[in-house]
């Protein structure tokens, strides 16, 4: 059962009106729907307080594999802070989505298709999304390549509201094994699509600022997605970025900007609300959108 989203920051309301103007005349305009909802169980989970500390973990390979081995150990949506001081005051968010009538092929198609025009990106979250583009659109458009060849290591330049703050970042999507997930476990869990990446300040891969993990599998009646976000830096990001010191420099950068535990908590919560809103919404439009534009 779903319920209507009741809160939208004024800056998002303004962005939503602008996006509604921009999309006029596009062939996919009818898929722009500002009516947002989320599953009641996610709403209740995310408003029940921050996760207890034993549910929050650093993104080590061991922890990530333990999570993927049993993603139902986590609530359907949750947020909190992992405060390891000099190793990071790290905003943590997790979620599980069931997306009816979606499959991992549609998901992969969407991750590429929406990057071609910023108006497509706004279908996903009409009030929060501003633009997303790939560094190498030609490679992204080359249908002789696999999704992974087109999408991975092809920088996404993402601009969007997370809460009332504009996030302007570059994200490098990489194979999930680069995070430390074992091939064996990915197969055992039936993961058939991954959009997992690490983010850095624009133009500077030496300062890692966030990671996000989306792992998708096909299940009866649709697709299931398991997600993790770390939206403020942690030293462990160096391992994932495969750039020595990138995580530590991210931590120092965040601290120099005045990051506190309260900010990190707010960041983690906003990410959880954003996630439950945008993926619920994407699942509502994706099957029909794919039916109409999936051959492009």
**Where on the chain is the footprint of a copy of itself (CB under 8 A)?**
3-11, 13-14, 17, 38, 40, 43, 47-50, 79, 164, 262, 265-266, 269, 273
Question: Closest distance between a copy of itself and the C-beta of residue 168, in Å?
Answer: 18
Helix boundaries (H) for the chain = 10-22, 40-46, 61-69, 104-113, 118-124, 137-141, 147-151, 183-188, 237-241, 246-256, 261-293
Instruction: Considering the complex, state which of residue 43 and residue 102 has its C-beta at the smaller distance from a copy of itself.
Output: 43
Contact 132, 155 (CB under 8 A): no
Closest residue by Cα to residue 227 from 198, 196, 183, 186: 196
Instruction: Considering the complex, state which of residue 216 and residue 273 has its C-beta at the smaller distance from a copy of itself.
Output: 273
Structure tokens at 247: 């995580």
Question: Closest distance between a copy of itself and the C-beta of residue 202, in Å?
Answer: 23
Concatenating the DSSP letter of every residue in 1-56 gives -EEE-----HHHHHHHHHHHHHTTT-TTGGG-----EEEHHHHHHHTS-SPPGGG-
Instruction: Considering the complex, state which of residue 14 and residue 69 has its C-beta at the smaller distance from a copy of itself.
Output: 14
Question: Closest distance between a copy of itself and the C-beta of residue 129, in Å?
Answer: 17
Instruction: Considering the complex, state which of residue 127 and residue 132 has its C-beta at the smaller distance from a copy of itself.
Output: 127
Q: How far is CA 59 from CA 13, 56, 67, 144, 188, in A?
A: 34, 10, 10, 34, 21
Instruction: Considering the complex, state which of residue 164 and residue 288 has its C-beta at the smaller distance from a copy of itself.
Output: 164
Instruction: Considering the complex, state which of residue 13 and residue 296 has its C-beta at the smaller distance from a copy of itself.
Output: 13
Question: Closest distance between a copy of itself and the C-beta of residue 78, in Å?
Answer: 12
For residue 192, give the 3-state DSSP assignment.
Answer: strand
Q: How far is CA 245 from CA 101, 198, 206, 240, 241, in A?
A: 42, 14, 7, 11, 10
Question: Closest distance between a copy of itself and the C-beta of residue 214, in Å?
Answer: 22
Question: Closest distance between a copy of itself and the C-beta of residue 91, in Å?
Answer: 11
Instruction: Considering the complex, state which of residue 131 and residue 266 has its C-beta at the smaller distance from a copy of itself.
Output: 266
> Count of CB atoms within 10 A of residue 145's CB?
12
Question: Closest distance between a copy of itself and the C-beta of residue 42, in Å?
Answer: 9
DSSP 202: T
């Amino acid at each position: 059962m779903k319920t209507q989203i009741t809160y939208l920051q004024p800056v998002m309301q303004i962005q939503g009106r602008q996006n509604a103007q921009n999309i006029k005349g596009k062939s996919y305009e009818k898929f722009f729907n500002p009516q947002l909802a989320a599953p009641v169980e996610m709403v209740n989970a995310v408003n029940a307080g921050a996760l207890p500390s034993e549910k929050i973990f650093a993104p080590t390979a061991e922890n990530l594999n333990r999570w993927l081995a049993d993603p139902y150990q986590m609530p359907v949506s949750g947020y909190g802070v992992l405060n390891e001081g000099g190793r990071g005051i790290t905003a943590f968010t997790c979620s599980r989505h069931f997306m009816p009538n979606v499959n991992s092929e549609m998901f992969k198609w969407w991750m590429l298709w929406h990057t071609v025009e910023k108006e497509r990106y706004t279908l996903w979250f009409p009030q929060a999304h501003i633009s997303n583009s790939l560094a190498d659109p030609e490679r992204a458009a080359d249908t002789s390549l696999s999704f992974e060849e087109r999408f991975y290591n092809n920088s996404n330049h993402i601009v969007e509201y997370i809460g009332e703050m504009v996030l302007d970042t570059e994200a490098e999507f990489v194979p999930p094994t680069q995070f430390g997930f074992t091939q064996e476990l990915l197969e055992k869990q039936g993961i058939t699509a991954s959009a997992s990446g690490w983010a850095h300040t624009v133009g500077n891969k030496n300062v890692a600022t966030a990671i996000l993990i989306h792992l998708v599998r096909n299940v009866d009646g649709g697709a299931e997605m398991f997600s993790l976000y770390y939206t403020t830096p942690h030293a462990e990001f160096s391992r994932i970025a495969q750039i020595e010191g990138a995580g530590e420099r991210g931590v120092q950068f965040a601290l120099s900007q005045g990051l506190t535990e309260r900010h990190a908590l707010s960041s983690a919560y906003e990410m959880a609300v954003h996630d439950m809103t945008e993926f619920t919404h994407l699942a509502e439009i994706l099957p029909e959108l794919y039916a109409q534009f999936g051959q492009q």
